[in-house]
Structure 1
Amino acid sequence: MRRLAQAAAVVTRLRLDELMSAWVGGRDSPMQIGLLCVFDAEPFRRADGLVDLAGVRAALALRASRVPGLHRRVVWTRPGEGRPFWAEDPAFAPPDLVEVTTLPPGTDLPSWAASRAATPLPPDRPLWRADVVGGLPGDRVAVLLVVSHVLADGAGGIALLGSLLDQDPAAAAPVVPPAPAAPLPSHRQLLRERLHEIADAARRRGRRGRRDRRGAGGPRAGVHGLTEIRAALAEFAGPEPVTSLPRQVGPGRRLGVVHVPLPELLRTGHALGVTVNDLVLAAVAAGLREYLTARDEGVPGPVLRASVPATTGHADRQVGRMLVVGLPVGEPDTARRLAVIHHATTQGKARLRAADADVTDLRLPVPVARPLLCWARRFGSRRLTLSVTDVTGPSAPLWLAGARLRAAAPIAPLSAGVPLTVAALSYAGEVVLTINASDSLTDLDLLTEATARGVAALRELAGVAAERPPAHAW
């Protein structure tokens, strides 16, 4: 970071991992993650028996003011000004980012939330939005939190949720006095800052070159990132099998939800010697097999590719690594299907550990990096059927002004040409697995129920007794 000569602002340029999410999103497939939260409504019950939705909105807005990451917006720069940068939003007003709506009778809450999460966020405001949703059956109120992937990935979004909510039911949200934001730098100031950055980069290259000539230098800058891109693309050799799953992604969404007690899933994984992520992939493979069979599609041996994000090991970056796992939907045996998946994930993780790099290690000018990464994304998307992600959430309950968070359902974004995203999130002893699909996909209920049966088959394979998951008024 460098302080500008004539402005109080500090320019923090977007990293490549943040820019990637802005580059690869589309009009109907913005890179935005959603989290559908269902709370007890009783603490917000009014004297007339109705839920005080405005009170929920005020409680959220008050807590948003204490989370620094929610104050920031991206300033999208002009030519010559350098990369876009983060800045405190001079017009930041949390109530403007929290909306209130009442769910129409008969509307499916998860699918409404998935469609709403795909509504693009304004680029000139802080990159998040919350919706307080009333009209739910039972003693419940919902909050949909939507965050741009530029701001946070899945794990980062859960960290934001932890900062936004309370750790204790009696906790009072601290009143944070608003601090005036510094004015945004002018075009002239940004040009001057860019010249300083170019000069600094030239000096660093000179020092690095001198070290290389003395034999103390490492590999050329950027070679690790290019190597990781080539390795990832090599896993997409050959076309993806053709199925009836739609490839066109429109603005509408449908969301299937599966609830599984976390202790049950952990015991199953321990008994079978696999990870929770392996179990999720195997359940999805079983669900897809049953779904395609029910649609009279022969599945004698196809393997459908799934992308699986993998952590980079760098706390200051978003996930920049990806496993490509072949899901053996043509395999009828549950044990063999799981074994194939476990072998693939084990080998893939070993490769990533050996590489010790990700695509964000790419060191190329933005005009070169952007088309390269966008092409790689399009190339991979044509050879994928779905993406699957698994995020560990809080193990203890969270609260909002005394209202307990009962359940949290993740909503992973769809990419253009990839018809399905599956996300699993653990929270307070439960795993919620969601299947997000374009609304052009028919029979999503069948796929959801088949995936739940896939979880049950794995539990039976391990000899783990079923626990009844709690009921939720979704």
Structure 2
Amino acid sequence: MERLTGMDAIPVNAEAGPMNIHITALLLVDPRPAGPGFDADHLYALLAERLPRNPLVRLRLVHKPLRLGQPVFVDDPDFDVHKHLQRLAVPAPGGPRQVAALIDEIHRHRLGHDKPLWEAWVIEGLADGRLALAVKFSHALSDGVGAVNRLLPTLLSTDPDHDPDYPEPGPAAPLPGTGDLLADWLAESAGNVAGAARVVGRGTPQLGRAVAERLLSMAAAPLRRLRGGEIDTDPRLRAAPADTPLNRPISERRNSAYAEVELDRMRDLGAAYGVTVNDVFIAACTTALRQWLLAHDTVPDGPLQVFVPISTRSADDDAFNSWSLALVRLPVFLPDPVERLTVIHQATNRVKSGRGANGPTVDVVDLVQLVPPTLLRMAASTYVLDLVAPLRPPFFHACFSNIPGPRGPLWLGGARLEGIYPFGPLFQDMNVNLTAVSYDGHFGLGVVGCPDNVPDVWEISDAWLAALGELDRNRPQCAPLTTPRERDEADEYEGSAD
């Protein structure tokens, strides 16, 4: 029995109305290297054999009586992999749009709590004989980086001639009884009291520093204006987040698209501008949303605010979720793509410098741990009510997440994994999610939208590709702003977790 942390349990406690907090990963598989016997039946059999060997896929959620405290994960004594595995055929001609239409239906439905929090689909009928695998899992089970590190190794190998070596699982213990769950709740409550004391101890000096820094910033503002300031002092960035069609209430429907570029192209652009790959990714996302707003509405005078998950996972971290978040304001109103990239680079640098400050700090992870699950469920249920929609401000318009994935090729029973495309969750007033995974020299982008407000997310994926071309055409002739070592360190640090 393993208790979920506050961050782990957000996807469970905050799911309400049309908000389903899970990830769907599309894996494209080329069966030709494995020979003529590798078909959909063979792929299904491989999955049925290998998946149960990973302890994560056997974990079932158990709630405490009256839902007091956070739920726990236990090894499901009734686990049956065939309850999770399904098969689908993509309609002709089997191209990306037909595959994405299947992802729409897979991604829209919520995972139940009566079995482990994942499902998978073997998809056949793709053009040129390829196969696909769609895996949907709750964010409570793993974040994006955790999925790369802890789920993929069960299925895939770095050697086409050798399968991954995972031991057969032992028998599961019975589900915990009421006494066990209440005892865990008491231990959890005692831990939260101690945690609250730590937050107060860390937060008091941090609050004092924040107030002092704010007063100094206000005092220095007239001098900055007198000297002309920097691009990121544009008063429009300090305005309230703009109200746009991107933050209309969502429905349960989903709309998906995906695209891919060479990772070296992203690195080359970062080197040319003296920024990180993550900066280039966010700048292209910003341009894509700007182009969508130009085509469907008007570009606002204020900023868009985006949710950017930041991985805090170390090499030996086996937690379900290890991430924090940053809110980044996007200069979508700036017409020049290079100017937008410069502002974004400054914004991400501020996030990194703030996170790297000396001394103990209070992070969102510390605070979420102290929020009672019942209170979070009530807040989420209230948040999705139509009656509240006119009163709530736009918290964020989109989510941008960049996940570092395997650097070399991976194999599944001799078949080659060609690409990975992730599709993240939407929130009540957030209609777009752009998540990318790097794999074997490729940068795979998955885009999710709510079709009631964003009718065709292929427009956004196409605009993202076009934005990279625009940056390529506007390459600066001057020296970059940072050294290669600084950019490499930043890219390693900024890998996001959704």
Cα distance in 2, alignment partners of residues 385 and 345 from structure 1: 18
Unaligned runs of 5+ in 1: 1-10, 210-216, 465-474
Residue from 417, 432, 435 that aligns with 2:429 = 417
Q: CA deviation at 1:461?
A: 2.9
Per the alignment, in what secondary structure is the counterpart of residue 280 of structure 1?
helix
The corresponding residue for 1:276 is 277
Aligned partner of 1:111: which letter? Answer: A
1:442 paired with 2:443, answer no
Cα displacement string for residues 163-221 of structure 1 (whole angstroms, at most 9, x for unaligned residues): 321221111355844421110122234334545666x659x95xx99xxxxxxx96636
The corresponding residue for 1:472 is none
**Contact 1:147-1:157 within 8 A present in 2 as well:** no
1:430 paired with 2:421, answer no
Cα displacement string for residues 378-414 of structure 1 (whole angstroms, at most 9, x for unaligned residues): 8998232111000000011111111100111111111
Per the alignment, in what secondary structure is the counterpart of residue 431 of structure 1?
strand
Aligned partner of 2:159: which letter? Answer: D
Aligned partner of 1:403: which letter? Answer: A
Aligned partner of 1:451: which letter? Answer: W
Query: After alignment, is 124-133 or 381-390 more displaced?
Result: 381-390
1:190 paired with 2:181, answer yes
Q: CA deviation at 1:81?
A: 6.3
Q: CA deviation at 1:278?
A: 0.9
1:280-295 aligned at under 5 Å gives the runs 280-295=281-296
**Contact 2:15-2:380 within 8 A present in 1 as well:** no
Cα distance in 2, alignment partners of residues 276 and 39 from structure 1: 26
Per the alignment, in what secondary structure is the counterpart of residue 400 of structure 2?
strand
Per the alignment, in what secondary structure is the counterpart of residue 259 of structure 1?
strand
1:11-410 aligned at under 5 Å gives the runs 11-42=1-32, 52-79=39-66, 82-105=69-92, 108-159=98-149, 160-172=151-163, 174=165, 176-195=167-186, 201=191, 220=200, 223=203, 239-245=240-246, 247-295=248-296, 297-299=297-299, 301-312=301-312, 315=317, 316=319, 318-354=321-357, 356-362=361-367, 364=370, 366=372, 370=376, 374=380, 382-410=394-422
Cα displacement string for residues 109-144 of structure 1 (whole angstroms, at most 9, x for unaligned residues): 123214312321121211111100011111200000
**Contact 1:307-1:322 within 8 A present in 2 as well:** yes
Residue from 455, 475, 481 that aligns with 1:462 = 475
Aligned partner of 2:471: which letter? Answer: L
For the structure 1 residues 375 and 325, does the alpha-carbon distance in structure 2 shift closer, same or farther, using more than 3 Å as the test? farther
Q: CA deviation at 1:271?
A: 1.9
Per the alignment, in what secondary structure is the counterpart of residue 321 of structure 2?
coil
Query: After alignment, is 159-168 or 102-111 more displaced?
Result: 102-111
For the structure 1 residues 319 and 357, does the alpha-carbon distance in structure 2 shift closer, same or farther, using more than 3 Å as the test? farther
Per the alignment, in what secondary structure is the counterpart of residue 288 of structure 1?
helix
Cα distance in 1, alignment partners of residues 325 and 56 from structure 2: 26
For the structure 1 residues 330 and 90, does the alpha-carbon distance in structure 2 shift closer, same or farther, using more than 3 Å as the test? same
Q: CA deviation at 1:43?
A: 5.8
Cα distance in 2, alignment partners of residues 373 and 167 from structure 1: 45
Q: CA deviation at 1:100?
A: 0.9
Cα distance in 2, alignment partners of residues 284 and 197 from structure 1: 41
Q: CA deviation at 1:370?
A: 2.5
The corresponding residue for 2:223 is none
**Contact 1:153-1:318 within 8 A present in 2 as well:** yes
Cα distance in 2, alignment partners of residues 38 and 123 from structure 1: 28
Q: CA deviation at 1:290?
A: 2.1
Aligned partner of 1:462: which letter? Answer: R
Cα distance in 1, alignment partners of residues 431 and 446 from structure 2: 14
Cα displacement string for residues 249-305 of structure 1 (whole angstroms, at most 9, x for unaligned residues): 22322222221100111111122111111111111121222222233x333733211
**Contact 1:25-1:415 within 8 A present in 2 as well:** no
Cα distance in 2, alignment partners of residues 326 and 193 from structure 1: 41
**Contact 2:68-2:373 within 8 A present in 1 as well:** no
Cα distance in 1, alignment partners of residues 468 and 373 from structure 2: 45
**Contact 2:154-2:164 within 8 A present in 1 as well:** no
Aligned partner of 1:401: which letter? Answer: G
Query: After alignment, is 172-181 or 146-155 more displaced?
Result: 172-181
For the structure 1 residues 193 and 307, does the alpha-carbon distance in structure 2 shift closer, same or farther, using more than 3 Å as the test? closer
Percent of aligned positions with the same letter in both sequences? 28
Cα distance in 2, alignment partners of residues 327 and 80 from structure 1: 39
Q: CA deviation at 1:237?
A: 8.1
**Contact 2:422-2:446 within 8 A present in 1 as well:** yes
Q: TM-score, normalised by structure 2?
A: 0.78
Richer in helix (by share):
2
Unaligned runs of 5+ in 2: 215-236, 385-390, 478-498
Query: After alignment, is 63-72 or 113-122 more displaced?
Result: 113-122
Q: CA deviation at 1:46?
A: 5.6
**Contact 1:17-1:317 within 8 A present in 2 as well:** no
Cα distance in 2, alignment partners of residues 381 and 241 from structure 1: 9
Cα distance in 1, alignment partners of residues 259 and 8 from structure 2: 30
For the structure 1 residues 312 and 177, does the alpha-carbon distance in structure 2 shift closer, same or farther, using more than 3 Å as the test? closer
Q: CA deviation at 1:155?
A: 0.7
- How many residue pairs are counted as aligned between the two chains? 435
Cα distance in 2, alignment partners of residues 288 and 193 from structure 1: 46
Cα distance in 2, alignment partners of residues 303 and 450 from structure 1: 19
Cα distance in 2, alignment partners of residues 326 and 376 from structure 1: 26
Q: CA deviation at 1:365?
A: 6.0
The corresponding residue for 2:387 is none
Aligned partner of 2:404: which letter? Answer: T
Aligned partner of 2:177: which letter? Answer: S
Q: TM-score, normalised by structure 1?
A: 0.82
Aligned partner of 1:431: which letter? Answer: F
Cα displacement string for residues 437-468 of structure 1 (whole angstroms, at most 9, x for unaligned residues): 1122224333222221101112233379xxxx
For the structure 1 residues 333 and 450, does the alpha-carbon distance in structure 2 shift closer, same or farther, using more than 3 Å as the test? same
For the structure 1 residues 196 and 16, does the alpha-carbon distance in structure 2 shift closer, same or farther, using more than 3 Å as the test? closer
For the structure 1 residues 411 and 371, does the alpha-carbon distance in structure 2 shift closer, same or farther, using more than 3 Å as the test? closer
Query: After alignment, is 283-292 or 418-427 more displaced?
Result: 283-292
For the structure 1 residues 252 and 370, does the alpha-carbon distance in structure 2 shift closer, same or farther, using more than 3 Å as the test? closer
**Contact 1:114-1:411 within 8 A present in 2 as well:** no
